[in-house]
Chains A and B, each alone.
Chain A
Amino acid sequence: MRNILVTAAIALAMAATAVTLSQTVRAQQGGSARPADLSGDWAPDRTRGGMGQSLSLSDPGGRKRGNEDDIPYQPWARAKTLSEKTSTGPDAHFDETTDPQVIYCEPPGVPHIYLWPIKMRFVPTPEAVYLLYEIGPFFRVIWLNAKHPEDPDPQWWGHSIGHYENGDTLVVDTVGFNDKTWLDQMGHPHTEQMHLIERYKRVSPTQLELDMTIDDPGAYTKPWNSHRNFAVSNTGFMRYQQICSVRENQKFFDDVGKPAVGTLPRK
């Protein structure tokens, strides 16, 4: 009898150890939860807000640019925003825009890329989730089971690490951005201090939601939040390569933009 009890105790201890080890391994492999199924092509959900122009939840159309009540600007960041000439939106000045994406074909970065009419696709692997975008074409690497470098080089897409939560959410933590991109179409700036948290949650088989927290003590007085809705798309991925070309942009401006600028010359 005593031997049976000892054997049972040892078995229980081994089982408990195995569970703990399993949880540890799962945590190292991207969190305590099972991987979220984010498969599918995801497009801005036109029935739930679409793309919009601004990350401001109170002013998605960009009509109150620089004066949104949910963006805690530092004074310089507000002034910088108001000094920019946007290429779209209610106060667009396409002919004299300062949008670096338009004039230099620079990458939009994140979260600005979510203000474009394009689809994205998640490609999960054991070591990383790759996020593919139809524009660029650009992709991001979300490293699982990883830490940020101590002193990351500032770069266009930053350094991203991620983990899963609740079996339906991918949490992405990004630092190491450069300060060259706009946060959205409305010219909201950020600095190299930006720390971005993204939470991608599949809320239904056909709907994906993204909650974002923008924490940039170099530009804003406190962290602030934004949100995007996506719908699954079955129309195909990358049916056309949306590549930015300074030469093609110039052609467009010469053909359609320039004739519309100013008053027409008299003969």
Chain B
Amino acid sequence: MTVRNVKSVLLAAMMLAVGLLLVSNRVFAHHGANLYDMTRTVMLKGTIAKFYWGNPHNEVTVDVKDEKGNVAQWVAYTEPPLVMLERGWTRKSLNFGDEVTMYIFTARNGATVGTLNRIVLKDGKELTAYPMPGAPAPPAK
């Protein structure tokens, strides 16, 4: 594990918001099972560095700064645009520099990547992605 990744994991641990729940079939509807820990989410605060809106999955890239000013870049994916449109997302939902709080299912190996659970904007607006284990999928909008 690199120094940078150790810092990232420590940072994640400091900001941890963990919910251990049973794993449902629904959560397995994507690629998470062997690569990401789908039993809990990690909360991270940062700013949007990039928002890729496209197939096969949208990608949210967020710069997360620790107390010493070190920046770790995290990438979390959602379902494809066709599905996210149903949940109220658009390609303009996230913009460079937006301050956000995101909850992600992180990589088991400590890499700064994961599956997005939800993201909260500065004004309190919440955008949902993959539901928590056991929770129903958000209704279509």
Contact = CB atoms under 8 A, between A and B. Distances in A.
A242 B83 CA distance: 10
A52 to B, nearest CB: 7
Main secondary structure of the interface of B (DSSP, over half): loop
Interface of A: 43, 46, 50-53, 60-63, 87-95, 117-118, 134-135, 233, 235, 239-245, 248-249, 252, 255-257, 259-267
A90 B28 contact: yes
A235 B83 CA distance: 11
A259 B56 contact: no
Closest 10 CB pairs of A and B: A61-B25, A260-B107, A94-B31, A92-B33, A259-B111, A260-B35, A240-B81, A240-B82, A242-B82, A259-B113
Contacts of B39: none
A257 B35 contact: yes
A235 B86 contact: yes
B140 A62 contact: no
B56 A94 contact: no
Contacts of B86: 235
A252 B25 contact: no
B59 to A, nearest CB: 6
What is the size category of the interface that chain B forms with chain A?
35 or more
A197 to B, nearest CB: 26
Interface of B: 1-3, 5, 23-26, 28-36, 52, 54-57, 59, 75-77, 79-83, 85-86, 107-114, 136-137, 140-141
B55 A242 contact: yes
B140 A43 contact: yes
A264 B2 contact: yes
Contacts of B33: 88-92
6 contacts: A43-B140, A50-B29, A62-B25, A90-B25, A240-B82, A263-B109
B25 A245 contact: no
A134 B107 CA distance: 31
Given A88-B28, A248-B54, A256 B59 contact: yes
A88 B55 contact: no
